[in-house]
Amino acid sequence: MALQETRNTNPKNLIPGATGDWEMVIGLEVHAQVASRSKLFSGASTAFGGEPNENVSLVDAAMPGMLPVVNEECIRQAIRTGLGLKARINKRSVFARKNYFYPDLPQGYQISQYDQPIVGEGTIVVEVGPDRDGRFEEVRVGIERLHLEQDAGKSLHDQHPTMSYVDLNRSGVALMEIVSKPDMRSADEAKAYISKLRTILRYLGTSDADMEKGNLRADINVSVRRPGEPFGTRCEIKNVNSIRFAGQAIEYEARRQIGILEDGGTIDQETRLFDPGRGETRSMRSKEEAHDYRYFPDPDLLPITFDDAYVEAIAATLPELPDAKRARFQAEYGLSAYDADVLVSEREVANYFEAVARGRDGKQAANWVINELLGALNRTGHAIEATPVFAHQLGELIDLIADGTISGKIAKDVFEILLSEGGEPRRIVEERGLKQVTDTGAIERLVDEVVAANPDKVEQARAKPTMIGWFVGQVMKASQGKANPQAVNALLKARLGIE
């Protein structure tokens, strides 16, 4: 594969070294577990967390004479993902055997795809940022290919003093390997890429992309070069299972390579491992030790073929994807790029937002969802699917602000009640007497009290009208937050003679 330069050097991405600037070049191979009930070539369950070797068929254990039968659902998921990556769908693809010995690889080969993958070139648009000025940079990262392959089992080395045990539950589970072009130039871009890819996969429902369960893992290729020079020698960092680690591994690896080059050394092409404990990468095997996988087409499996109609039928079921949704949110609800980006990062959050925003002020809905709801979920460690405050409750709360029943401040208190106790916002307001005081007589009395008690402040406010804010705060406090702030403001101005 000839690597193509696709980007102009952005000075922002350069790393200053002792001898001048350096630029990183990053490409990723992301392994995402396909969302499917059964494995790629057997009927065994893909359920997570079973007893060791609970979900193992005769095929998964590579019993003699057992043959793989492709699970069509996995094919559909791969096509779906390819469509989501705006990639070329190959109507004919071939499964190939990747041969190597390992105890958790029962067949002695992994069934994968080699020179004829199911999905070809595509693109992911990644928003990197925001920078200090709140701006996002749009980076287009090319997709080289997506192919299907089997996951391996797991070796357990801590069960017996001298032996290792093997758990084949994962053996044969379908993975999509999504290979990017070497289009990323910073750790932030790589992190944003993984994050965006994860978002797309979740939108599509083709992978839960849960990195904690190991359902999304990245092999990261890193090299460095002087700006404008050809690509340098790369090292591959295997099996990174968090976005944060990916960033750390890239930063470390780039600095390691720069250090070697600046000392007059050369980079050896090799496979490395990231040690999150030490925050460094370590050599795993050199190019010379690299396996010769002896790929060849798997004679047990016919080529995968389908027609345009098959692809079109899948395309017709595709959901609105994050890029389109973000653009629509900005246009339809007048949201900032940042807010729209936060809201579309998870499909369920976007759906929640839309349920709240429908028929209401979009910006206000976005503020409530982002600042209050997501903030609260973040604090409590709940996923959006497990939110204690439902969209109709939040919507009702916003309506209560809009019609002047409560102030924004009281609304936040009500939100806390919803969070901890649940209930209907309107009823909570009524039962707890939180209704805003709009009775001017009552407010006037409070204004009078505050003004009378603070003659010195009155003098200051007349000289400096912004001081009125202090008075508003005092009156609100005296009303236990229930006074209508606009009314307080108007009455104070009149009372103090401020225009």
Partner 1 sequence: MSELTALTIAGIREGLRRKDFSAVELTEAYLAAIERFNQAFNAYVAVTPERALEMAGESDRRIAEGEARALEGVPLGIKDLFCTKGIHSQAASHVLDGFKPPYESTVTANLWRDGGVMLGKLNMDEFAMGSSNETSYYGPVVNPWRRRGGNAQLVPGGSSGGSAAAVAAHLCAGATATDTGGSIRQPAAFTGTVGIKPTYGRCSRRGIVAFASSLDQAGPIARTVRDAAIMLRTMASVDPKDTTSADVEVPDYEAAIGESVKGLRIGIPREYRVDGMPEEIEKLWQAGMDWYRAAGAELVEISLPHTKYALPAYYIVAPAEASSNLARYDGVRYGLRVPGDDIVDMYEKTRAAGFGREVKRRVLIGTYVLSAGYYDAYYLRAQKVRTLIKRDFEEAFQAGIDAILTPATPSSAFGIGEKAGGDPVEMYLNDIFTVTVNMAGLPGIAVPAGLDPAGLPLGLQLIGRPFDEATLFRAAQVIEDSAGSFTPEAWW
Residue 286, interface with partner 1 (CB under 8 A)? Answer: no
Residue 54 Cβ vs partner 1, minimum distance, rounded to whole Å: 16
Residue 292, interface with partner 1 (CB under 8 A)? Answer: yes
Nearer to partner 1, 276 or 303 (CB): 303
The amino acid sitting at 308 is D
Count of Cβ atoms closer than 10 Å to residue 86 Cβ: 14
Residue 392 Cβ vs partner 1, minimum distance, rounded to whole Å: 48
DSSP string, 340-392: HHHHHTSHHHHHHHHHHHTTS-HHHHHHIIIIIIIHHHHHHT--GGG-SS-HH
CB 61 within 8 A of CB 79: no
Residue 252, interface with partner 1 (CB under 8 A)? Answer: no
Residue 260, interface with partner 1 (CB under 8 A)? Answer: no
Nearer to partner 1, 59 or 447 (CB): 59
Site for partner 1 in 80-99 (CB under 8 A): 97, 99
Q: Using the 8-state DSSP alphabet, how is residue 437 labeled? A: B
Nearer to partner 1, 18 or 163 (CB): 163
Six token digits for residue 356: 């709240």
Six token digits for residue 396: 């009702």
Member of 20, 50, 103, 279 binding partner 1 (CB under 8 A): 103
Residue 302, interface with partner 1 (CB under 8 A)? Answer: yes
Site for partner 1 in 346-405 (CB under 8 A): none
Nearer to partner 1, 4 or 159 (CB): 159
Residue 303, interface with partner 1 (CB under 8 A)? Answer: no
Residue 50 Cβ vs partner 1, minimum distance, rounded to whole Å: 19
Looking at the chain, the number of H-run helices and the number of E-run strands are 16, 16
Residue 161, interface with partner 1 (CB under 8 A)? Answer: no
Residue 331, interface with partner 1 (CB under 8 A)? Answer: no
For residue 128, the Cα-to-chain-centroid distance in whole angstroms is 13
- Contacts by residues 109-113 (CB-CB < 8 Å, ≥ 24 positions apart): 110/149, 110/150, 110/152, 111/40, 111/41, 111/68, 111/149, 111/150, 111/298, 111/301, 112/147, 112/148, 112/149, 112/150, 112/177, 112/295, 113/147, 113/148, 113/149
Residue 65, interface with partner 1 (CB under 8 A)? Answer: yes
The stretch near partner 1 (CB under 8 A) out of 261-269, 291-299, 377-385, 467-475 is: 291-299
Member of 62, 284, 311, 496 binding partner 1 (CB under 8 A): 62
The stretch near partner 1 (CB under 8 A) out of 62-70, 86-94, 125-133, 263-271 is: 62-70
* Count of residues of this chain found to bind partner 1 when the rule CB under 8 A is applied: 29
Question: Residues, the chain, total?
Answer: 499
Specify the 3-state DSSP secondary structure of 116. coil
Residue 104 Cβ vs partner 1, minimum distance, rounded to whole Å: 9
Residue 106, interface with partner 1 (CB under 8 A)? Answer: yes
Residue 417, interface with partner 1 (CB under 8 A)? Answer: no
DSSP string, 225-273: E-TTSPP---EEEEEE--HHHHHHHHHHHHHHHHHHHHTT--PPPEEEE
Residue 118, interface with partner 1 (CB under 8 A)? Answer: no
CA distance 4 to 93: 24
CB 1 within 8 A of CB 136: no
Residue 296, interface with partner 1 (CB under 8 A)? Answer: yes
Residue 285, interface with partner 1 (CB under 8 A)? Answer: no
Residue 113 Cβ vs partner 1, minimum distance, rounded to whole Å: 16
Residue 81 Cβ vs partner 1, minimum distance, rounded to whole Å: 23
| b/e per residue 107-139 (b: at least 16 CB within 10 A) | bebbbbbbebbbbbebebebbbbeeeeeeebeb
Binding site for partner 1 (CB under 8 A): 58, 61-67, 69-70, 97, 99, 101, 103, 106-109, 164, 166, 292, 294-296, 298-302
